[in-house]
Amino acid sequence: MHFLYNLAIQFASFFLKIIALFNPKIKLFVDGRKDVFTILEQKIAANDKTIWFHAASLGEYEQGLPVIEKIKKKYPAHKIIVSFFSPSGYEVRKNNTVADVTIYLPLDTPKNAKRFLKLAHPEMVFFIKYEFWINYLNQLQKQNIPTYLISGIFRKKQLFFKWYGGFYRKALKSFTYFFVQNENSRKLISQLGETNVIVSGDTRFDRVVTILEKDNTLDFVSQFKNNKTTIVIGSSWPKDETILAEYINSCKDDIKFIIAPHNIKPDQIKQLQASILKKTVLFSEKENKDLSQFDVFIIDTIGILTKIYSYADIAYVGGGFGNPGVHNLLEPATFGIPIVIGPNYSHFEEAISLVKIEGCISITNFKELETAFSTLVQNPILKSKKGEICYNFIQQNKGATNRILEKITYNKDYK
Protein backbone atom coordinates (compact mmCIF):
# COMPACT_ATOMS: atom_id res chain seq x y z
CA MET A 1 0.00 0.00 0.00
CA HIS A 2 2.88 2.36 0.74
CA PHE A 3 4.18 1.76 -2.78
CA LEU A 4 0.76 2.63 -4.23
CA TYR A 5 0.62 5.74 -2.02
CA ASN A 6 3.96 6.97 -3.35
CA LEU A 7 2.88 6.18 -6.90
CA ALA A 8 -0.31 8.20 -6.40
CA ILE A 9 1.73 11.17 -5.15
CA GLN A 10 3.94 11.01 -8.24
CA PHE A 11 0.92 10.89 -10.55
CA ALA A 12 -0.66 13.81 -8.68
CA SER A 13 2.53 15.83 -9.07
CA PHE A 14 2.57 15.23 -12.82
CA PHE A 15 -1.10 16.02 -13.44
CA LEU A 16 -1.12 19.07 -11.16
CA LYS A 17 1.57 20.65 -13.35
CA ILE A 18 -0.68 20.19 -16.39
CA ILE A 19 -3.80 21.48 -14.62
CA ALA A 20 -1.79 24.49 -13.41
CA LEU A 21 -1.60 25.72 -16.99
CA PHE A 22 -5.35 26.35 -16.91
CA ASN A 23 -6.24 26.83 -13.23
CA PRO A 24 -4.88 29.88 -11.33
CA LYS A 25 -5.30 28.30 -7.89
CA ILE A 26 -3.49 25.11 -8.90
CA LYS A 27 -0.79 27.27 -10.49
CA LEU A 28 -0.19 28.87 -7.10
CA PHE A 29 -0.10 25.38 -5.57
CA VAL A 30 2.54 24.21 -8.05
CA ASP A 31 4.62 27.38 -8.45
CA GLY A 32 4.72 28.06 -4.72
CA ARG A 33 6.56 24.80 -4.12
CA LYS A 34 9.35 25.43 -6.62
CA ASP A 35 11.54 27.52 -4.32
CA VAL A 36 10.81 25.91 -0.93
CA PHE A 37 14.19 24.23 -0.54
CA THR A 38 16.02 27.36 -1.70
CA ILE A 39 14.14 29.42 0.88
CA LEU A 40 15.03 26.97 3.63
CA GLU A 41 18.70 27.03 2.60
CA GLN A 42 18.72 30.83 2.70
CA LYS A 43 16.80 31.34 5.95
CA ILE A 44 17.77 28.36 8.10
CA ALA A 45 21.43 27.94 9.00
CA ALA A 46 22.90 24.61 10.04
CA ASN A 47 23.32 25.79 13.63
CA ASP A 48 19.82 27.32 13.92
CA LYS A 49 17.38 25.73 16.36
CA THR A 50 13.94 25.40 14.80
CA ILE A 51 10.38 24.33 15.58
CA TRP A 52 8.07 23.38 12.72
CA PHE A 53 4.29 23.82 12.53
CA HIS A 54 2.23 22.49 9.62
CA ALA A 55 -1.30 23.58 8.70
CA ALA A 56 -3.43 22.39 5.82
CA SER A 57 -4.95 25.80 5.20
CA LEU A 58 -6.06 29.06 6.78
CA GLY A 59 -8.49 27.54 9.28
CA GLU A 60 -5.88 25.16 10.66
CA TYR A 61 -3.33 27.96 10.88
CA GLU A 62 -5.74 30.07 12.93
CA GLN A 63 -6.43 27.02 15.06
CA GLY A 64 -2.76 26.49 15.75
CA LEU A 65 -1.89 30.16 16.22
CA PRO A 66 -2.32 30.25 20.02
CA VAL A 67 0.14 27.35 20.35
CA ILE A 68 2.58 28.92 17.87
CA GLU A 69 2.55 32.18 19.84
CA LYS A 70 3.08 30.44 23.18
CA ILE A 71 5.89 28.25 21.81
CA LYS A 72 7.57 31.31 20.26
CA LYS A 73 7.43 33.09 23.60
CA LYS A 74 8.67 30.04 25.52
CA TYR A 75 11.56 29.34 23.14
CA PRO A 76 12.57 32.77 21.77
CA ALA A 77 15.97 31.59 20.54
CA HIS A 78 14.35 29.20 18.07
CA LYS A 79 13.18 29.96 14.57
CA ILE A 80 9.56 29.12 13.84
CA ILE A 81 8.79 27.42 10.51
CA VAL A 82 5.18 27.39 9.34
CA SER A 83 4.20 25.35 6.30
CA PHE A 84 0.92 25.23 4.39
CA PHE A 85 -0.52 22.67 2.03
CA SER A 86 -3.16 24.89 0.43
CA PRO A 87 -2.81 28.23 -1.41
CA SER A 88 -5.88 29.52 0.44
CA GLY A 89 -3.83 29.36 3.62
CA TYR A 90 -0.40 30.34 2.37
CA GLU A 91 -1.47 33.26 0.18
CA VAL A 92 -3.43 34.88 3.02
CA ARG A 93 -0.85 34.32 5.78
CA LYS A 94 2.49 34.29 3.92
CA ASN A 95 3.39 37.63 5.51
CA ASN A 96 2.46 36.68 9.08
CA THR A 97 4.69 38.01 11.86
CA VAL A 98 4.75 34.97 14.14
CA ALA A 99 6.86 32.72 11.88
CA ASP A 100 10.46 33.26 10.81
CA VAL A 101 9.87 31.19 7.68
CA THR A 102 6.52 30.60 5.98
CA ILE A 103 6.45 28.15 3.08
CA TYR A 104 4.43 25.60 1.16
CA LEU A 105 4.94 21.98 2.18
CA PRO A 106 6.57 20.05 -0.69
CA LEU A 107 4.53 17.07 -1.87
CA ASP A 108 4.86 13.99 0.31
CA THR A 109 7.52 11.95 -1.48
CA PRO A 110 10.33 10.12 0.39
CA LYS A 111 12.93 12.34 -1.30
CA ASN A 112 11.11 15.59 -0.42
CA ALA A 113 10.56 14.50 3.18
CA LYS A 114 14.26 13.68 3.70
CA ARG A 115 15.45 16.90 2.11
CA PHE A 116 12.91 19.07 3.93
CA LEU A 117 13.84 17.69 7.34
CA LYS A 118 17.56 17.94 6.60
CA LEU A 119 17.24 21.65 5.79
CA ALA A 120 14.66 22.51 8.47
CA HIS A 121 16.13 20.16 11.13
CA PRO A 122 13.28 20.86 13.60
CA GLU A 123 13.60 19.89 17.25
CA MET A 124 9.82 19.72 17.65
CA VAL A 125 7.03 19.34 15.10
CA PHE A 126 3.34 20.18 15.36
CA PHE A 127 0.70 19.03 12.89
CA ILE A 128 -2.59 20.90 13.26
CA LYS A 129 -5.93 19.07 13.33
CA TYR A 130 -5.65 16.37 10.64
CA GLU A 131 -2.68 16.54 8.34
CA PHE A 132 -1.15 13.05 8.04
CA TRP A 133 1.60 12.82 5.41
CA ILE A 134 3.05 9.33 5.51
CA ASN A 135 6.61 9.96 4.29
CA TYR A 136 7.10 13.01 6.49
CA LEU A 137 5.82 11.09 9.51
CA ASN A 138 8.02 8.10 8.75
CA GLN A 139 11.10 10.33 8.54
CA LEU A 140 10.19 12.12 11.78
CA GLN A 141 9.93 8.77 13.51
CA LYS A 142 13.23 7.53 12.07
CA GLN A 143 14.97 10.70 13.25
CA ASN A 144 13.29 10.50 16.67
CA ILE A 145 11.94 14.05 16.45
CA PRO A 146 9.11 14.77 18.97
CA THR A 147 5.95 15.16 16.91
CA TYR A 148 2.54 16.30 18.12
CA LEU A 149 -0.96 16.48 16.72
CA ILE A 150 -2.82 19.45 18.18
CA SER A 151 -6.60 20.02 18.14
CA GLY A 152 -6.90 16.62 16.49
CA ILE A 153 -10.20 15.21 15.29
CA PHE A 154 -10.77 11.55 14.47
CA ARG A 155 -13.84 10.09 12.78
CA LYS A 156 -14.77 6.48 12.12
CA LYS A 157 -14.78 6.98 8.34
CA GLN A 158 -11.09 7.95 8.25
CA LEU A 159 -8.61 5.60 6.60
CA PHE A 160 -7.03 4.62 9.92
CA PHE A 161 -10.16 2.71 10.85
CA LYS A 162 -10.55 0.79 7.57
CA TRP A 163 -9.29 -2.79 7.17
CA TYR A 164 -6.99 -1.62 4.38
CA GLY A 165 -5.56 1.34 6.32
CA GLY A 166 -2.67 -0.50 7.96
CA PHE A 167 0.09 1.70 6.53
CA TYR A 168 -1.78 4.77 7.79
CA ARG A 169 -2.17 3.23 11.23
CA LYS A 170 1.54 2.51 11.29
CA ALA A 171 2.30 6.17 10.57
CA LEU A 172 0.44 7.18 13.74
CA LYS A 173 3.30 5.64 15.72
CA SER A 174 5.30 8.73 14.73
CA PHE A 175 3.38 10.94 17.16
CA THR A 176 4.73 11.62 20.61
CA TYR A 177 1.30 12.82 21.73
CA PHE A 178 -2.14 13.27 20.24
CA PHE A 179 -3.90 16.32 21.67
CA VAL A 180 -7.49 15.77 20.55
CA GLN A 181 -10.57 17.95 20.75
CA ASN A 182 -13.09 15.53 22.24
CA GLU A 183 -13.67 12.22 24.01
CA ASN A 184 -14.95 10.50 20.88
CA SER A 185 -11.63 11.16 19.14
CA ARG A 186 -9.76 9.81 22.15
CA LYS A 187 -11.80 6.61 22.14
CA LEU A 188 -11.30 6.05 18.42
CA ILE A 189 -7.55 6.51 18.48
CA SER A 190 -7.27 4.44 21.66
CA GLN A 191 -8.97 1.55 19.85
CA LEU A 192 -5.89 1.41 17.64
CA GLY A 193 -3.70 0.83 20.65
CA GLU A 194 -2.53 4.42 21.06
CA THR A 195 -2.33 5.39 24.72
CA ASN A 196 -0.51 8.71 24.28
CA VAL A 197 -3.80 10.57 23.79
CA ILE A 198 -5.03 13.57 25.75
CA VAL A 199 -8.35 15.39 25.41
CA SER A 200 -7.01 18.93 25.47
CA GLY A 201 -9.87 20.69 23.66
CA ASP A 202 -9.88 23.02 20.69
CA THR A 203 -7.20 25.73 20.57
CA ARG A 204 -9.49 27.93 18.45
CA PHE A 205 -11.31 28.90 21.65
CA ASP A 206 -8.08 30.37 23.00
CA ARG A 207 -7.60 32.35 19.80
CA VAL A 208 -11.08 33.89 19.80
CA VAL A 209 -10.94 34.74 23.50
CA THR A 210 -8.04 37.09 22.76
CA ILE A 211 -10.21 38.97 20.25
CA LEU A 212 -11.99 40.67 23.14
CA GLU A 213 -8.67 42.13 24.29
CA LYS A 214 -8.04 43.87 20.98
CA ASP A 215 -9.30 47.16 19.61
CA ASN A 216 -12.23 46.18 17.39
CA THR A 217 -13.27 49.72 16.56
CA LEU A 218 -14.27 50.48 12.97
CA ASP A 219 -15.55 54.03 12.74
CA PHE A 220 -17.25 53.50 9.38
CA VAL A 221 -19.24 50.56 10.77
CA SER A 222 -20.29 52.64 13.76
CA GLN A 223 -21.47 55.37 11.40
CA PHE A 224 -23.44 52.89 9.33
CA LYS A 225 -25.00 51.20 12.37
CA ASN A 226 -26.16 54.54 13.75
CA ASN A 227 -27.28 52.90 17.03
CA LYS A 228 -29.81 50.69 15.24
CA THR A 229 -30.31 46.94 15.52
CA THR A 230 -27.80 45.35 13.17
CA ILE A 231 -27.65 41.86 11.70
CA VAL A 232 -24.19 40.85 10.50
CA ILE A 233 -24.07 38.19 7.80
CA GLY A 234 -20.62 36.62 7.68
CA SER A 235 -19.02 34.29 5.10
CA SER A 236 -22.20 33.97 3.07
CA TRP A 237 -22.53 31.90 -0.10
CA PRO A 238 -25.10 32.39 -2.91
CA LYS A 239 -27.43 29.76 -1.40
CA ASP A 240 -27.43 31.71 1.87
CA GLU A 241 -27.82 35.02 0.08
CA THR A 242 -30.90 33.94 -1.86
CA ILE A 243 -33.06 33.61 1.24
CA LEU A 244 -31.26 36.41 3.08
CA ALA A 245 -32.01 38.86 0.25
CA GLU A 246 -35.65 37.80 0.35
CA TYR A 247 -35.75 38.52 4.08
CA ILE A 248 -33.96 41.86 3.74
CA ASN A 249 -36.32 42.98 0.97
CA SER A 250 -39.45 42.00 2.91
CA CYS A 251 -38.28 43.11 6.38
CA LYS A 252 -40.47 45.86 7.86
CA ASP A 253 -38.41 46.34 11.03
CA ASP A 254 -35.89 49.19 11.29
CA ILE A 255 -32.84 46.96 10.92
CA LYS A 256 -29.42 47.46 9.41
CA PHE A 257 -27.68 44.63 7.54
CA ILE A 258 -23.96 44.09 7.01
CA ILE A 259 -23.03 41.34 4.54
CA ALA A 260 -19.46 40.02 4.30
CA PRO A 261 -19.59 37.36 1.53
CA HIS A 262 -17.18 34.46 1.47
CA ASN A 263 -16.37 35.20 -2.17
CA ILE A 264 -15.75 38.82 -3.12
CA LYS A 265 -15.33 38.41 -6.87
CA PRO A 266 -16.80 41.51 -8.59
CA ASP A 267 -19.41 39.59 -10.59
CA GLN A 268 -20.76 37.87 -7.48
CA ILE A 269 -20.80 41.13 -5.52
CA LYS A 270 -22.78 42.76 -8.34
CA GLN A 271 -25.22 39.87 -8.36
CA LEU A 272 -25.71 40.14 -4.61
CA GLN A 273 -26.16 43.90 -4.78
CA ALA A 274 -28.70 43.57 -7.59
CA SER A 275 -30.79 41.12 -5.54
CA ILE A 276 -31.30 43.66 -2.73
CA LEU A 277 -33.95 46.31 -3.16
CA LYS A 278 -33.06 48.43 -0.15
CA LYS A 279 -30.50 51.22 -0.17
CA THR A 280 -27.12 49.50 -0.39
CA VAL A 281 -23.48 50.62 -0.26
CA LEU A 282 -20.26 48.72 -0.93
CA PHE A 283 -17.17 48.95 1.26
CA SER A 284 -15.14 49.83 -1.85
CA GLU A 285 -17.46 52.80 -2.54
CA LYS A 286 -17.96 54.09 0.99
CA GLU A 287 -15.71 57.16 0.83
CA ASN A 288 -17.40 60.58 1.08
CA LYS A 289 -20.78 59.00 1.75
CA ASP A 290 -23.04 59.33 4.75
CA LEU A 291 -23.18 55.64 5.64
CA SER A 292 -25.95 56.19 8.18
CA GLN A 293 -28.35 56.75 5.27
CA PHE A 294 -27.94 53.20 3.93
CA ASP A 295 -29.78 50.03 4.98
CA VAL A 296 -27.34 47.41 3.70
CA PHE A 297 -23.54 47.47 3.78
CA ILE A 298 -21.75 44.91 1.58
CA ILE A 299 -18.15 44.29 2.62
CA ASP A 300 -16.28 43.55 -0.63
CA THR A 301 -12.91 43.17 1.10
CA ILE A 302 -11.32 40.66 3.46
CA GLY A 303 -9.75 40.75 6.90
CA ILE A 304 -12.24 42.83 8.92
CA LEU A 305 -15.16 40.46 9.55
CA THR A 306 -14.04 39.68 13.10
CA LYS A 307 -14.12 43.36 14.04
CA ILE A 308 -17.48 43.78 12.30
CA TYR A 309 -18.99 41.04 14.48
CA SER A 310 -18.37 43.28 17.48
CA TYR A 311 -21.10 45.60 16.14
CA ALA A 312 -23.66 42.84 15.59
CA ASP A 313 -26.84 42.35 17.58
CA ILE A 314 -27.49 39.11 15.69
CA ALA A 315 -25.14 37.12 13.47
CA TYR A 316 -25.85 34.85 10.53
CA VAL A 317 -22.89 32.63 9.63
CA GLY A 318 -22.93 31.30 6.08
CA GLY A 319 -21.95 28.03 4.46
CA GLY A 320 -24.68 25.96 6.07
CA PHE A 321 -26.48 25.33 2.79
CA GLY A 322 -23.40 23.78 1.17
CA ASN A 323 -20.76 21.16 1.86
CA PRO A 324 -18.90 20.57 4.08
CA GLY A 325 -21.04 23.15 5.86
CA VAL A 326 -21.16 26.21 8.06
CA HIS A 327 -18.17 28.52 8.60
CA ASN A 328 -16.62 29.69 11.88
CA LEU A 329 -19.16 30.32 14.64
CA LEU A 330 -16.62 31.02 17.36
CA GLU A 331 -15.83 34.60 16.36
CA PRO A 332 -19.40 35.94 16.68
CA ALA A 333 -19.98 33.73 19.73
CA THR A 334 -17.08 35.30 21.64
CA PHE A 335 -18.86 38.67 21.41
CA GLY A 336 -21.96 37.20 23.05
CA ILE A 337 -24.15 37.31 19.95
CA PRO A 338 -27.01 34.91 19.11
CA ILE A 339 -26.25 33.06 15.88
CA VAL A 340 -28.34 31.74 13.00
CA ILE A 341 -27.00 29.15 10.54
CA GLY A 342 -28.12 26.86 7.72
CA PRO A 343 -28.84 23.12 8.08
CA ASN A 344 -25.42 21.61 7.27
CA TYR A 345 -23.30 21.74 10.41
CA SER A 346 -22.80 18.11 11.45
CA HIS A 347 -19.03 18.21 10.73
CA PHE A 348 -18.44 20.98 13.25
CA GLU A 349 -18.41 20.20 16.96
CA GLU A 350 -18.89 23.80 18.06
CA ALA A 351 -21.96 24.19 15.85
CA ILE A 352 -23.48 20.95 17.13
CA SER A 353 -22.92 22.09 20.71
CA LEU A 354 -24.23 25.63 20.22
CA VAL A 355 -27.40 24.38 18.52
CA LYS A 356 -27.91 21.83 21.30
CA ILE A 357 -27.57 24.40 24.10
CA GLU A 358 -29.74 26.87 22.11
CA GLY A 359 -27.26 29.66 21.60
CA CYS A 360 -27.49 29.03 17.87
CA ILE A 361 -30.55 28.50 15.66
CA SER A 362 -30.37 26.26 12.58
CA ILE A 363 -32.80 27.01 9.75
CA THR A 364 -33.61 25.14 6.54
CA ASN A 365 -35.70 27.63 4.53
CA PHE A 366 -36.87 31.23 4.22
CA LYS A 367 -39.82 30.82 6.59
CA GLU A 368 -37.61 29.50 9.37
CA LEU A 369 -35.09 32.28 8.76
CA GLU A 370 -37.84 34.88 8.97
CA THR A 371 -39.13 33.38 12.22
CA ALA A 372 -35.66 33.19 13.77
CA PHE A 373 -34.71 36.77 12.95
CA SER A 374 -38.12 38.23 13.86
CA THR A 375 -38.19 36.39 17.19
CA LEU A 376 -34.72 37.62 18.15
CA VAL A 377 -35.41 41.20 17.06
CA GLN A 378 -38.75 41.42 18.85
CA ASN A 379 -37.70 39.59 22.02
CA PRO A 380 -34.61 41.34 23.44
CA ILE A 381 -34.62 39.15 26.56
CA LEU A 382 -34.42 35.98 24.47
CA LYS A 383 -31.79 37.57 22.25
CA SER A 384 -29.68 38.48 25.28
CA LYS A 385 -30.09 35.00 26.77
CA LYS A 386 -28.92 33.27 23.60
CA GLY A 387 -26.01 35.67 23.30
CA GLU A 388 -24.99 34.91 26.88
CA ILE A 389 -25.09 31.17 26.11
CA CYS A 390 -22.69 31.75 23.22
CA TYR A 391 -20.33 33.87 25.31
CA ASN A 392 -20.27 31.36 28.17
CA PHE A 393 -19.67 28.51 25.72
CA ILE A 394 -16.47 30.19 24.55
CA GLN A 395 -15.27 30.98 28.06
CA GLN A 396 -15.94 27.46 29.34
CA ASN A 397 -13.97 25.82 26.52
CA LYS A 398 -10.80 27.91 26.58
CA GLY A 399 -7.52 26.59 27.96
CA ALA A 400 -6.48 23.97 25.38
CA THR A 401 -3.22 25.79 24.62
CA ASN A 402 -2.06 25.73 28.23
CA ARG A 403 -2.97 22.05 28.57
CA ILE A 404 -0.83 21.28 25.53
CA LEU A 405 2.14 23.35 26.71
CA GLU A 406 2.00 21.89 30.21
CA LYS A 407 2.13 18.33 28.92
CA ILE A 408 5.02 19.02 26.57
CA THR A 409 7.00 20.64 29.38
CA TYR A 410 6.10 18.00 31.94
CA ASN A 411 7.31 15.12 29.79
CA LYS A 412 10.65 16.78 29.03
CA ASP A 413 10.24 15.92 25.35
CA TYR A 414 11.97 19.13 24.43
CA LYS A 415 15.43 20.20 25.51
| Residues tagged active-site | 60
> What is the Cα–Cα distance from 384 to 375, expressed in whole angstroms?
12
Q: How many helices (H) and strands (E) does the chain have?
A: 19, 14
Which has the closest alpha carbon to 233: 222, 242, 217, 244? 244
> What is the Cα–Cα distance from 329 to 191, expressed in whole angstroms?
31
Strand ranges in 206-343 using DSSP code E only, listed in sequence order: 230-236, 256-261, 280-282, 296-298, 314-317, 339-341
Strand ranges in 147-213 using DSSP code E only, listed in sequence order: 147-152, 177-180, 197-199
| Residue type at position 173 | K
| Residue type at position 310 | S
Contacts of residue 32, defined as CB under 8 A and 6 or more positions apart, other chains included, come to 87, 90, 104
